[in-house]
Amino acid sequence: MDQQVSYEHLDDEGGSSLTDQMRWLHVQVRQHHPQVHRIAIALYDARHGLLKTYVNSSDVTDPLALYERPLSEVPSLSELASRRESRVIHDFTQLPLPHGEHTVWLLARGYRSSYTVPLYQAGTLLGFLFFDSRKPGAFDGRLPDDLQIYVQLCRLSVLNVFNLSHAVEGMVKVARGLAHLRDIETGRHLDRMSSYVRLIAQRVARHYRLDDEFIEHLYLFSPLHDIGKVGISDSILLKPGRLNDSERRLMQGHVELGVKLINEVMQEAGLATTPYLAILRNIVGCHHELLDGSGYPRGLRGDEIPLEARIVSIADVFDALTAERPYKKPWTNAEALAELARMSDRGQLDPHCVSAFASCIGEVGAIQKRFGLSG
């Protein structure tokens, strides 16, 4: 069967989120294959070994969301990844017991069969694409072959997000080398900080109605928050003591420099209209703003500060306090959390986010252990 599917929607709809694109793709699929009732993508996070829900389109009102699991604890998907093979399950009810959590969720909502495809780019596992149906045996015969065009469209959508992150990240690495930055803590700081960011976002997701797509983009882009520092001299970045007023003004200039770099790199990479860029710009441009207006560079107040920047600022402050720097000894986690609470009480930090972060201090310790701090 000939299938006329336009790729232009994925490339030209600058205002479309990945969730919007997935819903559009699902409509196209169901025009030809009405028995496909759900399409979903789970991403693989190699740094943590986690498989995480990302985007989906389905006919249920309670989609599987805010769910993550170590890939090593899902043997069936681990095997697909290692073999780079797709899989058809003809009837979930015929699978051996006990059923996995994902299968239990699918069965409880009436899904009976599935087609699963691992997504790769240049040998790197990106995640998995799932097609599910309420009809047993829906993916027998030619249907998996007919779905290949949609597999590639979904893969392109995911790659657009990673290309945005990698384009800026690559530029930062080159710039760091040119600037001779010597802060050996930087890489581990970024791993810890972005992991804290994801913890906070997951904990406040229901309060602020965040979806997996927003959380994942926040996690991907948060390590780029300080990219403007590539233009700040080491004599200021690594000064073992307080900065004077002139030095402080130069240091604060890294925010506007970072936004300028983002805009220039995105323009050069042809990604200037991508819908995910707003989150990145907000993180870079607003992560030093404080809710009471005492932050910089614009003195924004309250809800004028995007949520993504409010979350990043908490994670960044906490890691700065608990890590050793040339000008300070590390604070304990308890001391750092107490300082975050004081800043929240003074109306500077988002109280919901601070409270959420304090509630998962055990996971914070595990992140510190994994990425270079004793906790």
Strand ranges (E), 157-253 = none
Distance set, CA 296 to CA 50, 252, 288, 299, 350 (Å): 35, 7, 6, 5, 16
The residues, ordered by sequence, that sit 6+ positions from 294 with a Cβ below 8 Å of its Cβ are: 348
58 CB neighbour count, 10 Å cutoff: 18
Active site residue 328: no
**Catalytic position from the list 52, 229, 239, 369:** 229
Kindly report the three-state secondary structure assignment for every residue of 255-273.
HHHHHHHHHHHHHHCCCCC
Tokens of 352: 């919901």
Residue 374's region, left for phi above 0, alpha for psi from -120 to 50, else beta, is: alpha
Q: Are 227 and 172 in contact (CB under 8 A)?
A: yes
The DSSP bridge partners found for residue 74 are none
Distance set, CA 302 to CA 214, 278, 311, 312 (Å): 20, 19, 13, 15
140 CB neighbour count, 10 Å cutoff: 12
The length of the chain is: 375
**Hey, which residues are catalytic here?**
229
